[in-house]
Structure 1
Amino acid sequence: MNQRPVAMITGAAGGIGGETAVRFAEQGYDCVLLALPGDDLQPVTSRIEQTGAQFLTCLGDLADLDYARSAVEQCISHWGRIDVLVNNAAWREITSMRKIELASWEKTLRVCLTAPAFLSRWCAEHMEARQRGVIINVSSIQSQMAAGIAPAYVAAKGALDSLTYELATLYGPSGIRVLSVNPGAIDTAMGKDIATDQQQATSQKIRQASEDMIPLRRWAQPEEIARVIVMLASDDASYLTGTTITVDGGWKQQCSPYSIKHLQLPSEFPQN
């Protein structure tokens, strides 16, 4: 069995997943990196190598549960253990319930909910044998805040939070902690994929509108979410399980944009 702890991260080619993998490597973990066949993992693996950590790459589509199960089997065959699972990968289409196709709906739920559920099950089988482990589901504040433009994604993220509570209850007596991280607006490729026409001007307007709702007045960088994930997997969070951790710069508790606050109290809320 490997003497170093092992973390498995889905959607590991970049964004939150890539930064999380590098952060785990810096903390002494070896990493299993799950990504799509066309993804470029080299920038992430180069940074992992610089830490002295080892990595195992498993390429495939999480809509295929045989691939997901194979990744767990490869990890156990290679290292004999898995200490942390981070269900980070996601897929979505910007559309409304009026127009979403069944194939899009089913793919979203498959990647964002079904794959995390069964990866958790298969990893937990090995974690239970050692009476310890951590499963972290990367959800979204959209699990509780809808916009009307991503029905399958919102439904999947709401269910992922509920699944977190269910798995924490099931696996807690075996020493396994299960948590959900709910990021807000993150400066990633997916975070920028917010306009159906992908016109730069439209995307910029949407970003400005979201920043107008965030008390910290900016989107987060992926490494800011990664630091939270790795902390939650550590013994510093040893009594945290069955809950969601919101990392959104204060957005979810906001009730009005700062442009409106400026109109109400201009001296206290200067116009940016």
Structure 2
Amino acid sequence: MSNQKVVIITGAAGGIGKATALKFAEDGYAVTLCDLDADTLQALTDVIDKKYGTRCLNIPGDLSDELYLQSIIPKTIEKWGRIDVLVNNAAWRTLESMRTMEMEIWEKTLKICLTAPAFLTKWAAAAMEEKRTGGVIVNVTSMMSERPSGTGSAYIAAKGALESFIKECAVTYGRSAIRVVGIAPGYIDTELSNDYVDPEGRNISNQLISEITDAIPLGRGGKPEEVADAILWLSSESAAYITGTTLVIDGGFKPNFSKYSIKKLQFPEEF
């Protein structure tokens, strides 16, 4: 078994996943990259291999496909001989309220956002226990699980359940030196944050983003690289006593009561 550490990252082709893959590769990890977008995933693999040497295992596929899901851990062990970190980052959702939610959409969302992370956690932890290496499992949830918008019922349900699952697994696997933690991003500038449309199909993402950033104390959205930095840190020895909890990365949005345009009406000299 090699001494080089190994990370598995789902949803690795873009956004937070891509930034995380680049951070771990830069830090010396061998990386297993999983995503539905095979072409973009291969392009990222080529970039990492060219810059850091051949250290990528590319496994494209659909996390809602049980056979594909079951293949990720064995293929990683076969290639690298170990697993040190699992980053459950992949997500899928539609923008709609519970009024229009179809059961097929509900079930697909939960498969990708909850069932896939749960069973990848189970199988990755089993491999870590067998190899007696310990490890870290990072689940990317969402700040929206506690501040929902009313337009993502299945996604919010999955992320809220994932928050509880993190606590449960931290207790389950802690004595095997496996830490289970969460990252809860707020508004991060990714493709998933720029697909908002009105009933006529016109993209209104910029308008909505402006409204959101008006309520963010730091006055801007986050960058995927900033989330990736936090994931890498939580996976390191510097965070060795952190488990069973979730780090919110939202620029201060969650605890803020009102938008800054409202604050200025009340206290124009202060805000």
Shorter-chain TM-score category?
over 0.9
Give the letter aligned to residue 19 of structure 1.
A
- Inter-partner Cα distance in structure 2 for 1:203 and 1:190: 10
What is the CA distance between 1:29 and its match in structure 2?
Answer: 0.2
Q: Does 1:110 align with 2:124?
A: no
Tell me how far 1:199 sits from its aligned partner: 1.9
Q: Name the SS of the counterpart of 1:41 in structure 2.
A: helix
- Whether 1:125 aligns to 2:126 is yes
Question: What code does the residue aligned with 1:22 have?
Answer: L
Are the equivalent residues in 2 in contact too, given 1:12–1:34 (CA < 8 A)? yes
What's the C-alpha RMSD, in Å, of the aligned pairs?
1.2
**Residues 150, 61 of structure 1: CA spacing in aligned structure 2 closer, same or farther, 3 A cutoff?**
same
**DSSP-derived class of the 2:246 partner:** strand
Would the aligned equivalents of 1:8 and 1:84 in 2 still touch at CA under 8 Å? yes
- Matches for 1:85-96 after TM superposition, within 5 Å: 85-96=86-97
Q: What CA deviation, in whole Å up to 9, does each residue of 1:20-55 have, x standing for no partner?
A: 011001111000000104451244223322023500
The answer to whether residue 9 in structure 2 is matched with residue 4 in structure 1 is no
Q: Distance in 1 between the 2:252 and 2:112 partners? A: 28
**Counterpart of 2:3 in structure 1: which amino acid?**
Q
Q: What stretches of structure 1 move > 6 A for 4+ residues in a row?
A: none
Residues 94 and 195 in structure 1, CA contact (< 8 A), matched pair in contact too: no
In the superposition, the TM-score normalised over structure 2's length comes to 0.96
CA offsets 1:123-170 (integer angstroms, 9 cap, x no match): 001111214110000000011111100000000000001000000000
What CA distance in whole angstroms lies between the structure 2 residues aligned with 1:151 and 1:63? 18
**2: CA distance, partners of 1:52 / 1:24:** 13
1:12 CA displacement: 0.4
SS at match of 2:67: helix
Unaligned runs of 5+ in 1: none
SS of alignment partner, residue 254 of structure 2: helix
Q: Taking structure 1 as reference, are residues 196 and 57 closer, same or farther at Cα in structure 2, changes over 3 Å only?
A: farther
**Which residue identity does 1:143 align to in structure 2?**
S
AA aligned to 1:55 is C
Q: How much identity, in percent, do the aligned residues show?
A: 50
Name the count of aligned residue pairs.
268
Equivalent of 1:145 in 134, 147, 153: 147
Q: Partner letter of residue 46 of structure 1?
A: D
Distance in 1 between the 2:252 and 2:54 partners? 35
Point out where structure 2 has 5 or more consecutive residues left out of the alignment: none
The answer to whether the 8 Å contact 1:28/1:53 transfers is: no
Alignment partner, residue 263 of structure 2: 261
- What is the one-letter code of the residue matched to 1:182? A
